[in-house]
Amino acid sequence: MYPETKGKKTWQHYLVATIALGGALAVHATMTGPDTPAASLPSVVLVTLHAALPLCIASILLSASSSLPPALLDTGDKSAWHWTRDFIKRHRPSQPTVKREKSATQKDENYMLLFENSLDAVFVSDADGTISAANKAACQLFGMTPEEFRRVGRAGLITSEELRLSSYVEERASAGTARGELEFVRKDGTTFIGEATSVLVDNPALFSFTIVRDISDRKRAEEAVAALAATLETRVTERTAELEAVVREQEAFSYSVSHDLRAPLRHINCYSSILAEDFAEELSTQAREYLSRICSSTNKMGKMIDHLLELSRVNRVDLALEPVDLSTMAEQVLQELKETDGKRRCEVVVAESITVLGDRILFMQLMGNLLGNAWKYTSSREDARIEFGMTQVDGEDAFFVRDNGVGFDMAYSSKLFGAFERLHGAEFPGVGIGLATAQRIVRRHGGRIWAEGAVGEGATFYFSLPVYF
């Protein structure tokens, strides 16, 4: 009997009972019909089989549709249904077991392929250090056969001077796995640095998997890079010191020359003035013209010396950083320019509240140079216009001084910020130091300066700074 279905009535039970009843009635009708003669034995057997066939088919369908074997009749005898079910079970092969065995075999083969074809050396070691298996890469790396690996053991692959082994073993014992660099020795006595990864396995006996990769080339490359970096740092330090020394020497030379030139210039200018005043009647017109040119040249040279001193000072002065209102500073500079030349008519536009972090004295010099240039090169225009503001150039915040003066040719823009470089003639005063000084001031504050312009259409000088408010 099947206890799972005993006493339970399901739709399968009723279906089987109905089919069985129909078969019995068919047999009875055939055998006992009023007009039917006595049946022969073969006909009775045939009709009986015909009636039993639906019952068999129903039994097979029910057995396929139910996970539990139904009890057709709640009797103590095993029915034909149960006998068929048991027969199928006995003669049907166990498919899941075959699949599991095949899957396990396939996995074993895959593991062996991985073990044998790994590019890294792989060992299997017992708890006592005996190497029970080594792949081809291990044999090539150490120059040994599997038998030699078993003979020397795990300890024979590491140099005796390796001090990192104890900590490596402790880490593997506590965590079950370890990775580190160790110095290994080959059969011929040569050594190499290897990256070893080892895992402990306890199934059922304790053993370990160890993978060794030769990283000697990588270590040599790292050492070479480190040595090169150290050399480069030394060279950079030396070159920087040399450059700083040259800059200091150049500044000292410029400062010294500027001061030393002042005395002879004063003498030349003084004696030229004495000649022009005290001996004017005795000098010819041409001589007086020569003396006038001498005085003009000495005055010009004096201004150049003053600008050289300013340029030298920009590099020597220590920056006193503080918030500086460039808008207010620009208004002050423009007001002073208007006072020096009251006849000039010039439209002035200054953006409000532009504040930066910098040295106040140097920024006053910067604004004086940029706005002074704009004032100078718009002197020939009746509708002169000068603007100071802030904008964006290629996604970068920048301050600008713009004018509608004579402008310049962009082909020569690289000469704008060079000392004593001028793009205009004697019709405009100046010695070509102002923009060079402006560039040094901006660079000392970590920014950059550039210009755009066109001949007859004015110029715009931009400068950017890392900190502003």
Q: What is the pLDDT of residues 26-71, one digit of tens each?
A: 555 555 554 544 444 445 445 554 555 555 555 554 454 444 444 4
Q: Is the pLDDT of residue 3 over 50?
A: no
Q: Is the pLDDT of residue 440 over 60?
A: yes
> Distance between CA atoms of 5 and 112, rounded to whole angstroms?
50
Cα 408 from chain centre: 43
Which residues, in sequence order, are CB contacts of 304 under 8 Å at separation 6+? 420, 431, 433
Model pLDDT for residues 45-56, shown as the tens digit of each residue: 455 545 555 555
pLDDT, position 249: 77
Q: Percent of the chain having pLDDT more than 90?
A: 25
Model pLDDT for residues 369-414, shown as the tens digit of each residue: 999 989 988 988 888 999 999 999 888 899 999 999 888 888 888 8
pLDDT, position 235: 87
pLDDT, position 28: 53
Answer for the pair 430, 376: CB distance below 8 angstroms, yes or no: yes
Residue range 90-102: mean pLDDT, rounded: 52
Answer for the pair 126, 108: CB distance below 8 angstroms, yes or no: no
Tell me which of 245 and 179 has the higher pLDDT.
Answer: 179
Q: Other CB atoms closer than 10 Å to residue 105's CB: what's the count? A: 10
Tell me which of 340 and 332 has the higher pLDDT.
Answer: 332
Model pLDDT for residues 191-202, shown as the tens digit of each residue: 999 999 999 888
Model pLDDT for residues 208-266, shown as the tens digit of each residue: 889 999 999 999 999 899 888 888 888 888 888 888 888 777 777 766 776 777 778 88
Q: Other CB atoms closer than 10 Å to residue 198's CB: what's the count? A: 21
Average pLDDT across the chain, whole number: 78
Which residues, in sequence order, are CB contacts of 30 under 8 Å at separation 6+? 36, 39, 47
Q: Is the pLDDT of residue 182 over 80?
A: yes
Which residues, in sequence order, are CB contacts of 182 under 8 Å at separation 6+? 158, 162, 164, 165, 168, 193, 194, 196
Q: Is 335 helix (H, G, I), strand (E, B) or coil?
A: helix
Q: Percent of the chain having pLDDT more than 70?
A: 74
CA distances 398 to 139, 204, 390, Å, are 67, 74, 6
Answer for the pair 381, 405: CB distance below 8 angstroms, yes or no: yes
DSSP 108-171: HHHHHHHHHH-SSEEEEEETTS-EEEE-HHHHHHHT--HHHHHHHTTGGGB-TT-SSHHHHHHH
pLDDT, position 211: 93
Q: Is the pLDDT of residue 141 over 90?
A: yes
Tell me which of 368 and 340 has the higher pLDDT.
Answer: 368
pLDDT, position 154: 85
pLDDT, position 41: 46
